[in-house]
Structure 1
Amino acid sequence: MPPMQARSFSIYNVMVPLVCLLLFFSTPTHGLSDSEAILKFKKSLVFGQENALASWDAKTPPCTWPGVLCNSGSVWGLQMENLELSGSIDIEALSGLTSLRTLSFMNNKFGGPFPEFKKLAALKSLYLSNNQFGGDIPGNAFEGMGWLKKVHLAQNKFTGEIPTSVAKLPKLLELRLDGNQFTGQIPEFEHQLHLLNLSNNALTGPIPESLSMIDPKVFEGNKGLCGKPLETECDSPSRELPPQPGVRPQSSSRGPLVITAIVAALTILIILGVIILLNRNYRNKQPRLVVENGPSSLQKKTSIREADQSRRERQKADHRNGSGTTKRMGTAAGVENTKLSFLREDREKFDLQDLLKASAEILGSGCFGASYKAVLSSGQMMVVKRFKQMNNAGRDEFQEHMKRLGRLRHHNLLPIVAYYYRKEEKLLVCDFAERGSLAVNLHRKPSLDWPTRLKIVKGVARGLSYLHQDLPSLMAPHGHLKSSNVLLTKTFEPLLTDYGLIPVLNQEKAQVHMAAYRSPEYLQHRRITKKTDVWGLGILILEILTGKFPPNFSQGSEEDLASWVNSGFHGVGAPNLLDKGMGKTSHCEGQILKLLRIGLSCCEPDVEKRLDIGQAVEKIEVLKEREGDDDDFYSTYVSETDGRSSKGVSSESISFA
């Protein structure tokens, strides 16, 4: 054999076994049982409490060990809280737990940098609050964790920017970073979260527009933040600085380039001028919102000038008839009569004249009035609701109640931005929801799938629960819950609207048309109760699941939706009642039927047997998109920042904000 071939053969014979040995010893956790992996993890811990985890013994099954959560004999979670633990978290050992989905090490003494949890790609919940972790979290710390839903890192010592990878998590629902030292700007999140807390950090810059409607308390303690929903406005971008002294200008050899730039700029200005003229001509052809005296004062007009001219002619006629002291809405009215009263300080201000000049699109009309979408000259889109059945409400009574509603803050409520009062009519100005009403989205093709419907039900329940907490003096804090009074954002987050209006509506009309007055307790006993809104929630749930319009809102029907569904359980069978528009539901049929039963429980005719709002929300919150999705547990953690607590329950429960 030639010398070179002999040498190659010798190296080959040595390297192959060496590589095999390295590969074998580089994966020490592969093949370990759950108990072996947990005991290996235990060795990395330092115990501050004597005999902590002493019962973790290889002679007993790990599912009997305290803090170890199991499902069908496999370890799916570790709940190790309030044990004064420190040391390190052995991620390699934990990676041997193939079914691991949830980790909680809250209220311990762990320190050092953020562990490499991204090696646990199947993790769904991570709770590290109230420890001593510190330093910057790498921007890619959460890459590949596509199943992660809940991240709680509050009350640690983390610094640097919020990692962009956490904002890009596709399934993220909860994020708590409060009580750290994060700096920089807030990243744009992929979708709306159920729970977010960024308070008491050192964050700076504008708040993303997607977070502009949530509770300002989420951002308190960050002096450098600005923009909605905070009252601090962001500074406009600084202008270009002049040349520094001593810096010589560029040579005049760039003369041709300057001339070319000037010609290009003039061309752009001419094009912009043409666009503005065309846009103005287009806007003049759009319908306008006009507020006038009389029963139909909010209507479509081809031109605001024509409306103004018509008003002036009527004013002259009134003056000739001796009634010239009466002020009318429009450009001729006094300032005090055309001023909108704003309830939100975090919105751009405009006046009634801006609404008069706005192009308008009618969204719908009902028994209480009509709704219009108004596009202001700034491009801002608002919804104007004109109510014609509030004539009995006095000015002071109406204004006081509007202020009360204006103080409500919840991401499942459509905020009332401003209002306008006249004895003959009232205007409420609200934000515009991009996807329109639930009724439209639910009953058109294609319809909504099961995860979206469940998300909507949960959001509606949360918003309704908030109304009951913050409007305790109202017998029915919503009073008019139905699918057309639930609007949807771009991400299908539900927004309750037309809530809390019973006190200011004419009662003779309210008792005929409002949903609360169609409840069994009112039809039988002429009274409404705190559980009347729960009945409305139940009817809405049944509508969402069956795709049927509630017959009790239609004339000529003697059977309501609840009795129709109830009879279906004993007739065609519950699965045959479900809306086929939900698509394939074989993986979640059990969860859907649970929600159907909750809906029927909310519609219980006997008020004493009916669920209250707290019970209804509790039952709804534990529902999942799929069967067997036991991925979380209530923590024993009590937040120091918001005072909310959750108690230990079974793995069937998940926490909610």
Structure 2
Amino acid sequence: MACPSLPPATIPSVILIVISLELIVCWGAHTDAEALLKFKSSLEISNDALGDWGLESSPCSENKANWVGIICHKGHVWGLKLENMGLKGSIDMESLEGVPFLRIISLKNNHFEGSLPDVKRVGALKSLFLSGNQLSGNIPGDSFSNMMSLKKVHLAHNQFEGQIPWSLVELPRLLELRLEGNKFSAQIPNFQQKAFKSFNISHNDQLHGPIPQALSHMDPSSFSGIEGLCGPPLNKPCNTANMPSIASIIMVSIALTQALLAIGAGIVILSRRNQSSSCEEVPANVKSPGARALDPGVGAKSPDRASSHGSGRRVAEGAKLSFVREDLEKFDLSDLLKASAQILGSGCFGSSYKAAMTGGPVVVVKRFKQMNNVDKDEFQEHMKRIGRLKHPNLLPLVAYFYKKEEKLLITNFVEKGSLVIQLHGQKAEGQPALDWSARLKIIKGIAKGLRYLYSELPSLITPHGHLKSSNVLLNANYEPLLSDYGLIPVINQEHAQDLMVAYRSPEYNQQGRITKKTDVWSFGLLILEILTGKLVANFLHQGKGGDEEDLASWVKSITATEWNSQVFDKNMGPTKSSEGEMMKLLRIALACCESDFEKRLDLREVVEKIEELKEKDGDEDFYSSYASESDIRSSRGLSDELNFTM
């Protein structure tokens, strides 16, 4: 396509607009061409297979491809299909970032070597086909994070090893996963996708353990050549006696803490006495939270002891869980005791444990010993009240176990763990830090969750009461889920004053009381932590006037003109286009941290101001609004993803 020359000033404005649009399309075509030629330069081509790739012509003319191996739509490069061409070299995903409408990459049956390329760089991909190469090594767990449009992943017949990446579990639209003929090991992640049209992990002979329930309907040939797998659809029952379980983890817990005799060893192993006065969440392992969290085979192991298993059975016979939600899958206490287990960390109230039940849900069990002043009827009524709460930004309570001396609260497991890990934990290799867009999304979600709590729990002075970064969990889409909310009525008052965030507020330190604006103060601190990247959880070690005032005071001590260079977390990445909105949010946070609660913003004002914030200063640029992906998706001349089989 030849680009129009710039018109003289005498040409009518309507024609100028038409020519301007032609220039935009032409510019986009050249952008695609330049990016693809850069990609070509990274390849080793043994013949003239890509000989027609050049700036003499654009890759696409409407829906017609001018270059070999290109799939076009509306003048844009939509797919890259370079199969069986003997290609070698590196797969330069960075250059493919310059092809904005690229949705399909197929490099099947070539000779590429080395590790999996950084496919996240082309985050809008729908189909990725790399089968039949010599790619090798471990695939980082987060390799497919945030690729929410991805439907097809074919990596078969390479030499990949290590764990199947946990980020594949996150993909809500995943329909095809082909991993056969590699060297993957460990257990199969707990896939939850219900709509798999094609799934195959056969001939990865180092895989072992139970097949996740969501895969139990697949053809048995999908798991052939793997002796270590068990459960449906294979005719091989699982032997749970040899699996790391909550009943086996007791020996590690008892070795590290005092013996707890309250409700039998089988239940006791769900907890570990918190010897520290700290209320800071201490993750058991923050090196790679995603990989740890989604691998049901990971966890502390110890020799099986008959006494611990026996105790667990005796407890299970005489006790049961109380469920507060009808819309969630139920299970027995005995199922929980047999679940594979892993210590997630220790917080104010005790330890949290991940429990992965064979063929059932993955849950988190949290133990509380600071509720023994609450009678059973009062406790049950409050748990039912909390169980009725339903909001996208609240972690729902699933069930509880009541005993006078201690309580167990059970919730669903959340993929990415807590916000404190995402902000301050050691990242796995290649795992990006939270950028400004993700942090703003998280803050807006927290605000919505708090607003809901205030509307549904109006009788509580402080509906959350324990808001901090370790009590904000992130799901696969980085939506925040508030946890440990609404507990002030059932926590012993003497313990609440020592442990809960609300009782570290200026008004409690000054006047001995909490107020309707106490959660706002906690929220302000949390926003400052998110924006600055500075850990404020250690203020809980302090007395009056502790670190909770230091961070806000530190920000106030720096002039606003220096906030961008000195205050904002550099790990957010490039933020030049968002400085104005970030400044607004920082001012909102400082207003929330006002020590005089009478002058502090109320929650309604805070939420309204936060909802007005945008990712970028000003409006979107013209090209983004003109050539949006929604325009392409609206075309009826193309199937949902050019859904052909490669």
TM-score, structure 1 normalization: 0.51
Q: Does 1:553 align with 2:523?
A: no
Q: Does 1:331 align with 2:313?
A: yes
Which one has a bigger Cα radius of gyration?
1
Decide which of 611, 622, 629 is 2:619's aligned counterpart.
629
Q: Does 1:283 align with 2:243?
A: yes
Q: Which residue of 2 aligns with 1:507?
A: 493
1:561 Cα shift? 1.8
8 Å CA contact retained: 2:328, 2:398: yes
Amino acid at match of 1:31: I
1:614 Cα shift? 1.1
Structure 1 residues 605 and 273, CA gap change in structure 2 (3 angstroms): closer
Structure 1 residues 289 and 530, CA gap change in structure 2 (3 angstroms): farther
8 Å CA contact retained: 1:437, 1:485: yes
Correspondence list, 1:335-484, <5 A = 335=317, 337-444=318-425, 445=427, 446-484=432-470
Q: What do residues 420-446 of structure 1 show as CA deviations (whole Å, max 9, x unaligned)?
A: 111011111101011110001001344
Q: Which residue of 1 aligns with 2:262?
A: 293
Query: Secondary structure, in 3 states, of the residue corresponding to 2:367?
Result: strand
Q: What do residues 95-121 of structure 1 show as CA deviations (whole Å, max 9, x unaligned)?
A: xxxxxxxxxxxxxxxxxxxxxxx99x9
8 Å CA contact retained: 2:340, 2:357: yes
Correspondence list, 1:228-267, <5 A = none
The CA distance in 2 between the partners of 1:516 and 1:553, in whole Å, is: 11
The CA distance in 2 between the partners of 1:411 and 1:428, in whole Å, is: 19
8 Å CA contact retained: 2:245, 2:337: no
1:494 Cα shift? 0.5
Q: Does 1:579 align with 2:569?
A: yes
Q: Which residue of 1 aligns with 2:307?
A: 306
Structure with higher RCO (Cα < 8 A, 6+ apart): 2
Q: What do residues 329-377 of structure 1 show as CA deviations (whole Å, max 9, x unaligned)?
A: x322475x42111111111110111111111101111221211000101
Amino acid at match of 1:299: I
The CA distance in 2 between the partners of 1:502 and 1:520, in whole Å, is: 18
Q: Is 370-379 or 270-279 further displaced after alignment? A: 270-279
Amino acid at match of 2:370: Q
8 Å CA contact retained: 1:480, 1:515: yes
Q: Is 497-506 or 605-614 further displaced after alignment? A: 605-614
8 Å CA contact retained: 2:248, 2:308: no
Correspondence list, 1:154-169, <5 A = none
For structure 1, the 5+ residue unaligned runs are 1-19, 21-27, 35-117, 122-143, 147-168, 172-188, 193-207, 212-233, 238-262, 312-329, 632-657
Amino acid at match of 1:598: I
The CA distance in 2 between the partners of 1:503 and 1:360, in whole Å, is: 30
8 Å CA contact retained: 2:246, 2:355: no
Correspondence list, 1:50-129, <5 A = none
Q: What do residues 436-480 of structure 1 show as CA deviations (whole Å, max 9, x unaligned)?
A: 100010013442111111111011111011101111000000000
Alignment RMSD: 4.3
For structure 2, the 5+ residue unaligned runs are 5-11, 19-72, 77-98, 102-122, 126-145, 150-169, 174-193, 198-219, 251-259, 271-301, 622-646
Query: Secondary structure, in 3 states, of the residue corresponding to 1:412?
Result: coil
Aligned length: 382
Query: Secondary structure, in 3 states, of the residue corresponding to 1:596?
Result: helix
Q: Which residue of 2 aligns with 1:98?
A: none
The CA distance in 1 between the partners of 2:327 and 2:172, in whole Å, is: 14
Correspondence list, 1:5-24, <5 A = none
Query: Secondary structure, in 3 states, of the residue corresponding to 2:470?
Result: helix
8 Å CA contact retained: 1:304, 1:356: no
1:554 Cα shift? 3.7
1:264 Cα shift? 9.4
The CA distance in 1 between the partners of 2:124 and 2:515, in whole Å, is: 41
1:483 Cα shift? 0.2
Structure 1 residues 602 and 366, CA gap change in structure 2 (3 angstroms): same
The CA distance in 1 between the partners of 2:124 and 2:315, in whole Å, is: 53
8 Å CA contact retained: 1:284, 1:302: no
8 Å CA contact retained: 1:288, 1:356: no
8 Å CA contact retained: 1:522, 1:528: yes
8 Å CA contact retained: 1:546, 1:578: yes
Amino acid at match of 1:298: V
Q: Which residue of 1 aligns with 2:580?
A: 590
Query: Secondary structure, in 3 states, of the residue corresponding to 2:392?
Result: coil
8 Å CA contact retained: 1:338, 1:351: no
The CA distance in 2 between the partners of 1:267 and 1:624, in whole Å, is: 51
8 Å CA contact retained: 2:316, 2:334: no
Q: Which residue of 1 aligns with 2:528?
A: 542
Query: Secondary structure, in 3 states, of the residue corresponding to 1:418?
Result: strand
Structure 1 residues 618 and 377, CA gap change in structure 2 (3 angstroms): same
The CA distance in 2 between the partners of 1:267 and 1:520, in whole Å, is: 63
8 Å CA contact retained: 1:516, 1:536: yes
Query: Secondary structure, in 3 states, of the residue corresponding to 1:331?
Result: helix
Q: Which residue of 2 aligns with 1:496?
A: 482
Query: Secondary structure, in 3 states, of the residue corresponding to 1:417?
Result: strand
Q: What do residues 57-115 of structure 1 show as CA deviations (whole Å, max 9, x unaligned)?
A: xxxxxxxxxxxxxxxxxxxxxxxxxxxxxxxxxxxxxxxxxxxxxxxxxxxxxxxxxxx
Q: Which residue of 2 aligns with 1:527?
A: 513
Decide which of 531, 553, 556 is 1:563's aligned counterpart.
553
The CA distance in 1 between the partners of 2:541 and 2:264, in whole Å, is: 27
Structure 1 residues 502 and 288, CA gap change in structure 2 (3 angstroms): farther
The CA distance in 2 between the partners of 1:358 and 1:606, in whole Å, is: 49
Query: Secondary structure, in 3 states, of the residue corresponding to 2:314?
Result: coil
